[in-house]
Chain A
Amino acid sequence: MNRRHFLGQSLASAGLLAGCASSAPINISKAQVVVIGGGYGGATAAKYIRMFSNNTAQVTLIEPNADFISCPMSNLVIGGSRTMAEITSPYENLSKRHGVKLIKDMVESIDQKQKTVKLVSGSTIKYDKLVVSPGVNLMMDQIKGLAEANQAGVTIQAWKAGPETVALHQQLAAMRDGGVYAISIPEAPFRCPPGPYERACQVASYFKKNKPKSKVLIFDANADIVSKAGLFRKAWATLYPGMIEYHPKFNVVAVDAKTKTLKFEVQDDVKADVLNILPLMRAGDIAVKSGIANANGRWVQVNFLNFEATAAKDIHVLGDSIQVAPLMPKSGHMANSHAKVAAAAIVAELGGLEVNSAPVLTNTCYSFVDATQVVHVASVHQYNAEEKTFKTVPGSGGLSPEPTTLEGIYAWGWAKNIWADSLA
C-alpha cells in the first residue's frame, strides 16, 4: 500500500473527501446496535459502543432483570458478610449518562436474514449489528432429578446471582449445627472457575462463626481444584481445619429430592442437609437456539478480532457464552474485557475504520477465603495474529503468594469500579 492510497482510503472512509461528515459510506448515527443481555459483557458493550462512537451509534439493550445483580461477590451474601443491596446496581445510568435505550424484555428469536430480533413481548427490532451476551445456561437435564429438585428448592444452584443467592443463605441459616452442606462442581469449562471453591470458604466461614460442628463437602467432577488450587487447599487447612472435605473425580449423575441424596457415576451415595448442585454449563439459551453455538453445540466460536460469531455475520458474542481461547476464564472481568474489544471493532466496522489488529484483554479474579482475606489470579492476553487467538504473555500474570486483607480491600474496590465501568 503506498501513501497516497492509504490516505485516500482513510479520508474516503471518514467521509471527508466529499466535504461532509454525514456522507460517510455508512452513517454511523443511523446504525442500530442491539445488545442482548445486561451482564458484565452486554452492559459494558452497550456503554462502550456509545462512548467509542462519540455517542452517535444508536444502542438498545435488552435485559429481563430490573437491576444488575453481580455474580462476583455473591458468595459473600451466601456467607452472610454482605447483603444483596450491596451487590445490586441499577441499569438507569446507561440510559441517563450514555443514551442507551433500555428494554426490559427477553429475546425470543433472531432472524439473521432480516437482521431482526423478536422479543417475548411480541415486538420486533431491526439491527445492523447484534451483540449477544446471554451468559451461561445450566444444563439441569444432565443430572437426573435435578430440574425438579431445583424447582422445588430442595437443591439450589445460586450460580446466577438473585433469589437463589438469598435462598441458599437462608437454608444455611436454618440448618442445624452439625449439619452438612454439599456443593457439586461440573466438569470444566464452567462460569467462574474459582467460584465453587470460594463458596466453600464462605460457607465454612459462616459455619465456623455460627455452627462450628457442621461440615462442607465438595464433590468435584474434575481431577483437581480448577483454579488457585494451592491457595484454596492451604486456606481450607489453616482457616477451617477438619471442616472442609474435598473429593475430586466425583461426578454427580442423579439427585433424590425426597431423601436429599446425591448419586455419583462411581462412588457411593451421599446425603446432605443443604444441596448446592451445579450441573454442566453451556452458552445462554438464545445463542444455542439461534444455531450459533458451533462448538459441541455448547459454546459459540468467535473471531477474536471482533468477537463476531464464526457462524453468523454481524452477530458478536461476548462473555461466558464463547468457546474460550487457551487459559481464558469465563469471568465477569473477562466478559467486560471482551466487550471493549468488540465495541471498538463494531464501531470501526460501522464507521468504515480499520479494525484493531492487536487487541488486548486482561483478567483479574479475586476470591475471598473468609470475610476479609483475599487471593487473586490475574492474566494479560494479547492477540496472536498467526494463531488467530488470544495468548497469555509469558512471564506475566500470576497468583497471590498468600491471602491478605489488603487484597480484600482491593477486591471490593475492583467490584465497585467494574460495576461503574460496566453500568455507570
Chain B
Amino acid sequence: MIRVEDLHKSFDGAKVLRGASFSVGKGEILALIGRSGYGKSVLLKHVAGLMKADQGRVLVDEDEVSQLKGKGLSRLRNRLGFLFQSGALFDSMTVFDNIAFPLREKTNLEERKIREKVQSELEQVGLMGSEEKYPSQISGGMIKRASLARALVQEPEIMLFDEPTTGLDPLTGQTILNLIDSCHRRLGFTGIIVTHEIPRIFEIVDKVAMLHDGVIQFQGTPEEITASEDPIVCAFLTGDMQGVSQG
C-alpha cells in the first residue's frame, strides 16, 4: 500500500536521506526506528506529502505523492491521519472542538451526530471530562490522546505516528501504545510509527525498518530484527553504538 523508493533529501547541503526504501502492506503497521536526528520524521513527512524529495518517490497505492496536487492531494489526505510529535492541537480551541473540527469542516454531519462521534472518540482514548479544557490546560499524555482522537475521528485508512510516546512517562507511553494497538484492531488502518520505544513497540507492529545514515539498514519482522546479527542493528538495539559509524 505504501512504497518508499530510493528517497534522497538534503537540507542546506547536509544529506539526511540517501536512498531510503521500504514498503508497508495494507493493514500492516511498520515501526520506523533509528537514532535521533537521522531523518525518520523527515521520511514520514514525505509520506504525508508535507515535503518534496530531491530524488526518489513515495507511492500510496499507485499514486506518487509528490506528483499529487489539488484534488488528488486532498483525496490522499482524506484517507490519512497524522499524529504529530507535539500533538499539534489547535491551541485556541477546546479538546472537544479540536476533535470535532475535521468533522465540522469536511463533512455534512449534523451537530448532534458530530457530538456523538466526538464523545465516542473521547471515550475510546479515555478523555471523558476533559473535553472543555484547552490544550494548555492538559498534560502531555492527554495532548497525545486528544491528538490521536482527532486523527482517528475520520477513520483514516492510513495512520502516521511521529514519536507518539516521546516525552511521556513509561506508564503513559504504554497506554498510548495500547491505544494505538486497540485502534488498529478496531479500524484496521495501515500505519507507520516513528519511535524509540524498543522493544515495547515490537509487540504491536508487523514490521520494523531501521534508518541509519540515510538508508534503511534493516527491514523485517520484530522477530527477525531481534535475531539480526547485523552489527549496526545489534549495536542500536543494545544501545552500544561504539565502533559504529556516527553518520
A and B assemble together: no
The residues of A with any CB-CB pair to B shorter than 8 Å are none
